[in-house]
Structure 1
Amino acid sequence: MNQSSLHLTDKLTSAAVVLSVLLLVQCQDSRSIPYPATIRPVSFLIERVAGSRMSEAMVHPGRNPETYDPSVADLMLYRDCRALFFVAPALDGWAANFQECPSYAIVPEAIGVHHHGAHGAHGNSPGKVKGGENGISGSRNYVDPHFWTDPHRIEQALPRLQDLLISMEPGSAIRIRSEIRILAEQMRSLEEEAARRLVHLRGKRAVLMHPTYESFLAEHGIEVVAIVEPVPGKELSVKDWRNLLTLKPVDFIVHEKQLPIRQSRILARELDATIVELDPMGSSARNLTELLRNQLDAFADLRVD
């Protein structure tokens, strides 16, 4: 191909990109989202209080919210937003730098990383095993950002959410306070139901493939003996496996739908444990209540000796 042909191809490519962006803008003008959220569970929470079609998730299930990089389409779609809601600086903190509208963390105090024993900080090693002086219980300054899996934690986050939404919609203050009050009652009811239905798991030992459910399980008397964070394409080291296999007895492995299941199956076989598979991103749920109820049903149906 000669130089003039290459130049023409470049021009045509540039024109196509500009045209695509313009078409994107025209298509999206009619569906402005006032309160986008980084992940689906947060958008469920916002919609529950602010109303349907007031929020949607930027990071779709299957993508990693911790490392997500907003696309041009995201910037165009949410250019007229009033606020972007994210989980916490320790989880999806990139949202704090979103330029299209102000951004607010639901759990702003969750700024530290979680240390899992001798394997270092969150994200630095494919396997993290609780144990020793630096185990999970020794992380004094750690605040778990995964609030949306625990009705009690959701209830604790509601006063801040109420204040933020009222500051942006003062004319809707009465309605927002009413929705927050109803939601808080629902969360208390779910927490009481969980306490009744999970009593058979009290004292059981669990291994998590990600720390998402740690605070919820701890609240119901279930001991988290290890947290393993598999990195796609990277196997656990021999040392990691040896540490994990010394943890017997283990009653169940909490596997998350978004993660590869191979390592969960190996651990379940070697530890003679049951796998419970959960979907913390709510890819099949229609709302916050359904997400939490699916989670509760999965644990309540778990039968371990």
Structure 2
Amino acid sequence: MYRTLGSIGRVLKFGLGGLGAGAIALALVACAPTASNQSDSNNTATGGISDNDAAGSDAAGNKAVVEDKAVGENQTAGGDGKLQVVTTFLPMTQFTQAVAGSCAEVSQILPSNVSPHDYQAKPTDAQRIAQADVLVQNGLELESFLEPMIENAGNPDLKIIEASAGLDLIAMAEEGHDHGHEEGHEEGHDHGHEEGHSHDHGEFDPHVWLDPQRAAAQVNVIRDGLIAAAPDCQTEFTANAAAYTDQLNALDEEIQQTLAPFAGKTFVTYHDFANYFAARYGLEVDFLVGVPEENPSPEDVKRVIETANSSELKTLLAESEVAARPFQALANDLGVEVSTFRPNETAGADGLAPDYYLTVMRENVANLAAAFGAQAE
């Protein structure tokens, strides 16, 4: 989950004239922080996609960034002969599991109910990385909390796959919520953190997996990285990746057909995470607070009210029930509902399966179409 709002008292300094009672209440709601249980239990996902068609080549020409980390004594363990792969969080696990098949054992470092925006690394993470052959992460500084764990793992043969390498990226919104969807950047440079905040984002929005086409590109990056780590499994990795990207391409076409009537319209989310999705389908997106944590000002609230009214939205979209609670006050003022648009960062145990991504995205699209006024079939 995303962090909920912290202390929101500073909003009162700006004055709240002109806002409805619900919008004022939004500024006063104190939501308890997400209290996800960061257990040490392994989220393990083995297997992949069976009975696949023969694979084709990657038309986009994506290449995996596979980085060898020479950090100390190797403690890689893989007694059953399978490639030992650790992933960071949900979409990385889903995509890696789709490719891995019978050649690799895949386990997730983060508990499946904890977002990378909220996670605090633990010493046991270094132990798991020490026993891995491959680490798959999204990149774009989303998992920077793991950097000390990687350095302390003592695993010189660890290969790190950056799934966002080579993708067209969207710059993070500057203060003032400039939603230009500036694209055309390629990941590959080192974006430094502001010292002391391990969950700060870098220059680019990291939520690339919410565009199914970019998700397919990430799958192919993972495929190439796994092939580099286990060349004997090239045939299986290639076939599995092709089968899953076929499903992602079909999903993309389905979403395009559903959302085509709403091209150019703007939807509203609670946090800033849906830019890649919006850009892919010719939409605009506004949000109330940024990621990972901000307090909304009266200007933020007014802006969202204007957006919702001008777009004639029927629904505001929150990524979780936790985020929906403070959003509800604003929805009450607008006379609209609150529904969900999940960023596919957290789930139950069933969320580790590759098909879960497809399910979540279809649910998101149905909720978004309803927000624009489409009638459920």
Q: Could you tell me the TM-score, scaled by structure 2's length?
A: 0.60
Write the letter of the residue equivalent to 1:166.
I
Match of 1:115 in 2: 173
- Residues 34, 230 of structure 1: alpha-carbon distance in 2 compared, 3 angstrom cutoff: closer
Instruction: Give 1:249's match in structure 2, choosing from 310, 313, 316.
Output: 310
Give secondary structure in 2 for the equivalent of 1:212.
coil
Deviations 1:81-107 (A, max 9, x none): 012111113322333551333433111
Q: By percentage of residues, which structure has more strand?
A: 2
- Which stretch shows the higher mean deviation, 282-291 or 37-46? 282-291
Deviations 1:147-173 (A, max 9, x none): 222221112223322221111101111
Q: How does 1:220-235 map to 2 (within 5 A)?
A: 220-226=281-287, 228-229=289-290, 235=295
Q: Residue 200 of structure 1: CA displacement?
A: 4.2
Q: Residue 59 of structure 1: CA displacement?
A: 1.8
Instruction: Give 1:180's match in structure 2, choosing from 221, 241, 244.
Output: 241
Give the Cα separation in 2 of the matches to 1:138 and 1:57. 32
Q: How does 1:12-91 map to 2 (within 5 A)?
A: 34-51=84-101, 54-66=105-117, 68-91=119-142
Match of 1:236 in 2: 296
- Residues 229, 271 of structure 1: alpha-carbon distance in 2 compared, 3 angstrom cutoff: farther
Write the letter of the residue equivalent to 2:359.
R
Give the Cα separation in 2 of the matches to 1:270 and 1:230. 24
Give the Cα separation in 2 of the matches to 1:170 and 1:67. 36
Give secondary structure in 1 for the equivalent of 2:286.
strand
Write the letter of the residue equivalent to 2:360.
N
Give the Cα separation in 1 of the matches to 2:352 and 2:118. 25
Unaligned runs of 5+ in 2: 1-76, 186-202
- Confirm whether residue 262 of structure 1 aligns to residue 325 of structure 2: yes
Comparing both chains, which one has the higher relative contact order based on Cα–Cα distances under 8 Å and sequence gaps of 6 or more? 2
Instruction: Give 1:212's match in structure 2, choosing from 270, 273, 291.
Output: 273
1:46–1:54 contact (8 Å) kept in structure 2: no
1:152–1:187 contact (8 Å) kept in structure 2: yes
Write the letter of the residue equivalent to 1:224.
V
1:117–1:136 contact (8 Å) kept in structure 2: no
- Residues 113, 203 of structure 1: alpha-carbon distance in 2 compared, 3 angstrom cutoff: closer
Give secondary structure in 1 for the equivalent of 2:84.
coil
Match of 2:71 in 1: none
Unaligned runs of 5+ in 1: 1-27, 119-128
Give secondary structure in 1 for the equivalent of 2:142.
helix
Q: Residue 29 of structure 1: CA displacement?
A: 9.6
Q: Residue 139 of structure 1: CA displacement?
A: 7.5
Computed over aligned residues only, the root mean square deviation of the Cα atoms, in angstroms, reads 3.2
Q: How does 1:81-160 map to 2 (within 5 A)?
A: 81-97=132-148, 98-99=150-151, 100=153, 101-108=158-165, 114-118=172-176, 129-130=177-178, 135-137=179-181, 143-160=204-221
> What percentage of residue pairs aligned between the two structures are identical?
17
Give the Cα separation in 2 of the matches to 1:150 and 1:231. 20
Q: Residue 67 of structure 1: CA displacement?
A: 5.5
1:67–1:92 contact (8 Å) kept in structure 2: no
Give the Cα separation in 2 of the matches to 1:195 and 1:63. 30
1:209–1:230 contact (8 Å) kept in structure 2: no
Q: By percentage of residues, which structure has more helix?
A: 1
Match of 1:21 in 2: none
- Residues 30, 163 of structure 1: alpha-carbon distance in 2 compared, 3 angstrom cutoff: closer
Q: Residue 146 of structure 1: CA displacement?
A: 1.5
Runs of 4+ in 1 over 6 A off after TM superposition: 28-33
- Residues 298, 140 of structure 1: alpha-carbon distance in 2 compared, 3 angstrom cutoff: closer
Larger Rg: 1
- Residues 227, 288 of structure 1: alpha-carbon distance in 2 compared, 3 angstrom cutoff: farther
Match of 2:64 in 1: none
- Confirm whether residue 294 of structure 1 aligns to residue 360 of structure 2: yes
Give secondary structure in 1 for the equivalent of 2:296.
coil
Q: Residue 244 of structure 1: CA displacement?
A: 2.7
Give the Cα separation in 2 of the matches to 1:204 and 1:194. 15
- Confirm whether residue 278 of structure 1 aligns to residue 328 of structure 2: no
- Residues 72, 163 of structure 1: alpha-carbon distance in 2 compared, 3 angstrom cutoff: same
Match of 1:123 in 2: none
